[in-house]
C-alpha cells in the first residue's frame, strides 16, 4: 500500500476536562472520498480542524503524505478547507476571493487570473467573478468556497458540513456535483457530516464517530449492512434491534441482532403482531408493529399499489412479519468490541 | 382594549403615527429647533454699551472669528487636541478590542466589557478632579514621572482617559462580527498573521475606528470642563463659548464660535462617510 494521504495516530484533543477526541487511528488513501459521520459533539469536526491545523492535538500525530505536520501552522500545510459558513471575505469580489490563496503564494498575475477563472467554471460560476459574495445565493456561495479551496490544488480538501445550510433539493444536487468534481480533480476529500444519507451516497469509505472515537470504518455498504456496534446500527439508517429474550424467541440464539426495516415484509405467515401505526411517506409506507414476542419494530414497504385509505385501515389489525435469516445481522456487544480493540 | 387594538390593526398609518409622534416632536422642536436658534442668533449682535441684544442680521461675528488671530489659534489648538486624543485612543483601543473579541474566553470577555464600562458610571466632574489631584504639584504623577503638570498635555491625557471606552466599544463590536472562520480561512489559504491582519481584519476594522473617532473627536472638540480643571492657562473653543455666555454676556458671539466645531464635525462626517463608518454606528 502506498503512503496514505492522511495518517492519524493516537490522536487526542481535550478541552478542559472534556475529551472531544479520545484516541483515533486512521489512514485515508490518496484520492479517496472519505466521510466522517457522527452526531454533533462526537468529535468529527475537531478531527478535521486538527488535520487543517486550527487546533493543536493534546496527543498523537497527524501525517500528511508521510510528513509529520502535527505542530505546523495552517499556512504551512498542503490542505484547504471548505467551511460550514463558507467564510468568504465580504469586502472582496468572488474573483478576488478565489485568487486570494494564489496571491499569497505569489503566483504571477496572469496565471492567477486564468486559474481562478478555470476554478469558477469548474463550479459552474462563469461570469460571476465581479460580484460580491453578499449578492449571491447560498448554493452559489457554497460553490465559490469550493472554487477558492480547489484553485490551490491542495493534496487534501477538507469539507466541514458544507451542505448543511442548503435546502434539500439543492443539497442533493450538490452531492452529485461534489462527487463529480472529486472524481475529476482526483484530490482526497475528507467530508464531515451528520447526515447519514449524504455520507452513504458520496463516500468511498465512511468513519462513524461516537463520543470521540471511531465506532466503525468501512464502505457505505459495510457500515449499513454490517454495523459493528448497536450505536452504528442505530445512527446509520433506522434499525430494529433485537436483544435478550426477544432475540432468543425470534432468532433462536442469544446475542444482539439488527434487522433493517426494508428487509422485513408484511406476510401471510411468520411472526405474529399488531399494527400500532401506519405512516404514509410518498414512495414508501412505514408500519410500526408490536410483535407478540414483545418488541416494537418498524417495517418499510414500497407503495406499489396501495392507496392511503386502504393503508389506514390496517391500524390496529393483526399481521404477520417475515424476513430472511441472512438479513438478521449479529452485532458484537460493546464488550467484545473493547476486547477486539 | 381589544377594540382599540383591532382598530389600530386596521389602520397602519395611525399605528405608525402613535409610534413616531413623540420622538418626531422631540427631534424637530428640541433638537433641530435649538440648532436653528443657535445658527440664527450667531448673526445677531449685542450693543457693547448697554448689553442689549440687537436682532439685526450682521456677519460681524464671523468676520471677527475669521480675521483675528487669537480665534484661529484656539481653533487649531482645539483641533490638535481632538486629533491627539483620537490617535491615542485608537492606539490603545485596537489591541484591547482585538484581545476582547478574538482571544479572551467568553467569561473574561464579559468582565472586560464591564471593566471598560465602569468608568462611564462615575461622574465626569469627579473623574476630572481625580486627575487634578493626580497631576498636582508634588502629586503622584509629579513625584513618579516629574510631570507633566497642568497644561495642554494634561488635557490630552485626561480626555483620552475619558473617551477611551467610546473608541473600544465600536471596534470591539466590529471585530466581534468578524467570524473566526474568516481568520482561519485566510490562514488556510496560506496567509501568515501579518497578511491576514492587513487584508482581512483591517478592512473590517477601519470603519469601526472611524465610528469610534466620531465620538472621541467631537467630544474632545466641544470639551471645556477638563480644560478648566487640568489645562492650566490653555483655552479651547469650548472655553471661548463659555466665556462669551458668562463673563462677556455676548450670546450671539458665543453662538458664532459654537458653529466652528459644528462645521468641523460636518466636514469630518462627510469625509469619513465614504469609509462606511456611519453604518458602524
d(CA A216, CA A90): 40
With CA atoms as reference, the chain B residue closest to A54 would be B184
- pLDDT at residue B90, rounded to an integer: 95
Inter-chain contact B188–A79, Cβ cutoff 8 Å?
Answer: yes
Domain span at residue B161? 69-280
Q: Burial-class residue A57 by CB neighbours within 10 Å (0-12, 13-18, 19+).
A: buried
CATH 3.40.50.300 residue window(s) in chain A = 6-233
- Mention the CATH class of domain A6-233: alpha beta
In the predicted model, what is the mean pLDDT of chain B? 88
Nearest Cα to Cα of residue B62 among B267, B238, B266, B252: B252
Q: Which three cell numbers stand for residue B37?
A: 436658534
Q: Which pTM value belongs to this model? A: 0.78
Inter-chain contact B181–A84, Cβ cutoff 8 Å?
Answer: yes
**Other CB atoms within 10 A of residue A37 CB:** 27
- Cell 426495516 belongs to A261
What CATH number belongs to A238-331? 2.40.50.140
Domain membership of residue B249 (yes or no) is yes
- pLDDT at residue A341, rounded to an integer: 46
CA distances (Å), B263 to each of A128, B266, B268, in order?
43, 5, 9
Interface-testing mutation among B188, B191, B200, with chain A (most A C-beta atoms within 10 A): B188
pLDDT tens for B3-31 read: 888 888 888 888 888 888 888 998 888 88
Average pLDDT over residues B205-213: 89
pLDDT tens for B230-258 read: 988 888 988 888 888 877 778 889 999 99
**Ranges of chain A whose pLDDT falls below 50:** 340-341
CATH 2.40.50.140 residue window(s) in chain A = 238-331
Yes or no: say if A82 and A158 are a contact pair by the CB < 8 Å rule: yes
- pLDDT at residue B159, rounded to an integer: 94
Contact partners, residue B99, CB within 8 Å, separation at least 6:
B112
Q: Which of A54, A100, A149 sits opposite B184 (nearest CB)?
A: A54
- pLDDT at residue A249, rounded to an integer: 84
- Is residue B102 over pLDDT 90? no
Average pLDDT over residues B186-205: 91
d(CA A91, CA A109): 20
Domain membership of residue B62 (yes or no) is no
pLDDT tens for B49-100 read: 777 888 888 888 888 888 888 899 999 999 999 999 999 999 999 999 999 9
ipTM: 0.83
Q: Which three cell numbers stand for residue A33?
A: 472520498
d(CA A134, CA A142): 12
Yes or no: say if A156 and A51 are a contact pair by the CB < 8 Å rule: yes
Q: What is the CA radius of gyration of chain A?
A: 24
Inter-chain contact B184–A81, Cβ cutoff 8 Å?
Answer: yes
CA distances (Å), A76 to each of A46, A47, A72, B121, in order?
19, 18, 6, 48
Domain membership of residue B51 (yes or no) is no
- pLDDT at residue A234, rounded to an integer: 87
- CATH number for the domain harbouring residue B169: 1.10.3720.10
Chain A nearest C-alpha distance from B278 (Å) = 17
Domain count, chain B: 2
Inter-chain contact A83–B185, Cβ cutoff 8 Å?
Answer: yes
Q: At what angle do helices B251-273 and B237-245 cross, to 10 degrees?
A: 150
Chain A nearest C-alpha distance from B158 (Å) = 37
Domain membership of residue B214 (yes or no) is yes
Chain B nearest C-alpha distance from A89 (Å) = 7
d(CA B3, CA A165): 43
Inter-chain contact B188–A80, Cβ cutoff 8 Å?
Answer: yes
Inter-chain contact B184–A100, Cβ cutoff 8 Å?
Answer: no
Amino acid at each position: 500500500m502506498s503512503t496514505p494521504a492522511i495518517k492519524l495516530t493516537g490522536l487526542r484533543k481535550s478541552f478542559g476536562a472534556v475529551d472531544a477526541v479520545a484516541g483515533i487511528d486512521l489512514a485515508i488513501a490518496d484520492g479517496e472520498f472519505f466521510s466522517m459521520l457522527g452526531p454533533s459533539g462526537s468529535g468529527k469536526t475537531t478531527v478535521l480542524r486538527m488535520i487543517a491545523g486550527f487546533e493543536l492535538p493534546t496527543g498523537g500525530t497527524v501525517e500528511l503524505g508521510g510528513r509529520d505536520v502535527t505542530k505546523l501552522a495552517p499556512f504551512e500545510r498542503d490542505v484547504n478547507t471548505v467551511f460550514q459558513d463558507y467564510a468568504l471575505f465580504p469586502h472582496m469580489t468572488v474573483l478576488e476571493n478565489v485568487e486570494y490563496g494564489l496571491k499569497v503564494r505569489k503566483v504571477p498575475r496572469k496565471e492567477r487570473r486564468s486559474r481562478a477563472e478555470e476554478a469558477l467554471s469548474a463550479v459552474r460560476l462563469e461570469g460571476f467573478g465581479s460580484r460580491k459574495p453578499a449578492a449571491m445565493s447560498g448554493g452559489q456561495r457554497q460553490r465559490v468556497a469550493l472554487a477558492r479551496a480547489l484553485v490551490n490544488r491542495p493534496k487534501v480538501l477538507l469539507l466541514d458540513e458544507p451542505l448543511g445550510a442548503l435546502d434539500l433539493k439543492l443539497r442533493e444536487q450538490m452531492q452529485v456535483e461534489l462527487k463529480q468534481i472529486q472524481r475529476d480533480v482526483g484530490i482526497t476529500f475528507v467530508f464531515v457530516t451528520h447526515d447519514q444519507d449524504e455520507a452513504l451516497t458520496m463516500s468511498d469509505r465512511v468513519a462513524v464517530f461516537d463520543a470521540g472515537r471511531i465506532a466503525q470504518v468501512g464502505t457505505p455498504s459495510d457500515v449499513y449492512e454490517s454495523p459493528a456496534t448497536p450505536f452504528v446500527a442505530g445512527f446509520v439508517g433506522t434499525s430494529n434491534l433485537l436483544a435478550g429474550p426477544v432475540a432468543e424467541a425470534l432468532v433462536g440464539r442469544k446475542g444482539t441482532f439488527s434487522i433493517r426495516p426494508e428487509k422485513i415484509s408484511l406476510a401471510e405467515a411468520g411472526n405474529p403482531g399488531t399494527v400500532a401505526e401506519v405512516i404514509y411517506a410518498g414512495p414508501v409506507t412505514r408500519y410500526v408493529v408490536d410483535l407478540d414476542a414483545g418488541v416494537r419494530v418498524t417495517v418499510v414497504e414500497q407503495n406499489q399499489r396501495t392507496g392511503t385509505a386502504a393503508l389506514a385501515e390496517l391500524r390496529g389489525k393483526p399481521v404477520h412479519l417475515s424476513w430472511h435469516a441472512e438479513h438478521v445481522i449479529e452485532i458484537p456487544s460493546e464488550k467484545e468490541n473493547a476486547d477486539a480493540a | 382594549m381589544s377594540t382599540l387594538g383591532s382598530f389600530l390593526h386596521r389602520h397602519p398609518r395611525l399605528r405608525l403615527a402613535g409610534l413616531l409622534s413623540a420622538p418626531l416632536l422631540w427631534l424637530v422642536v428640541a433638537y433641530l429647533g435649538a440648532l436653528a436658534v443657535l445658527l440664527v442668533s450667531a448673526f445677531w449682535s449685542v450693543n457693547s454699551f448697554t448689553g442689549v441684544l440687537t436682532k439685526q442680521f450682521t456677519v460681524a461675528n464671523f468676520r471677527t472669528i475669521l480675521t483675528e488671530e487669537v480665534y484661529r489659534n484656539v481653533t487649531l489648538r482645539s483641533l490638535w487636541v481632538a486629533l491627539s486624543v483620537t490617535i491615542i485612543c485608537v492606539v490603545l483601543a485596537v489591541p484591547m478590542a482585538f484581545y476582547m473579541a478574538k482571544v479572551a474566553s467568553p467569561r473574561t470577555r464579559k468582565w472586560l466589557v464591564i471593566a471598560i464600562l465602569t468608568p462611564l458610571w462615575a461622574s465626569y466632574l469627579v473623574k476630572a478632579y481625580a486627575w487634578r489631584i493626580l497631576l498636582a504639584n508634588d502629586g503622584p504623577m509629579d513625584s513618579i514621572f516629574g510631570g507633566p503638570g497642568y497644561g495642554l498635555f494634561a488635557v490630552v491625557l485626561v480626555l483620552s482617559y475619558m473617551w477611551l471606552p467610546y473608541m473600544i466599544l465600536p471596534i470591539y463590536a466590529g471585530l466581534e462580527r468578524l467570524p473566526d472562520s474568516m481568520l482561519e480561512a485566510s490562514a488556510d489559504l496560506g496567509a501568515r498573521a501579518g497578511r491576514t491582519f492587513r487584508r482581512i481584519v483591517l478592512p473590517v476594522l477601519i470603519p469601526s475606528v472611524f465610528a469610534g473617532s466620531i465620538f472621541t473627536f467631537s467630544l474632545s472638540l466641544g470639551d471645556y470642563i477638563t480644560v478648566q480643571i487640568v489645562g492650566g492657562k490653555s483655552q479651547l473653543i469650548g472655553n471661548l463659548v463659555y466665556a462669551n455666555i458668562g463673563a462677556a454676556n455676548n450670546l450671539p458671539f458665543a453662538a458664532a464660535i459654537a458653529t466652528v466645531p459644528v462645521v468641523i464635525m460636518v466636514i469630518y462626517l462627510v469625509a469619513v462617510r465614504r469609509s462606511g463608518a456611519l453604518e458602524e454606528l
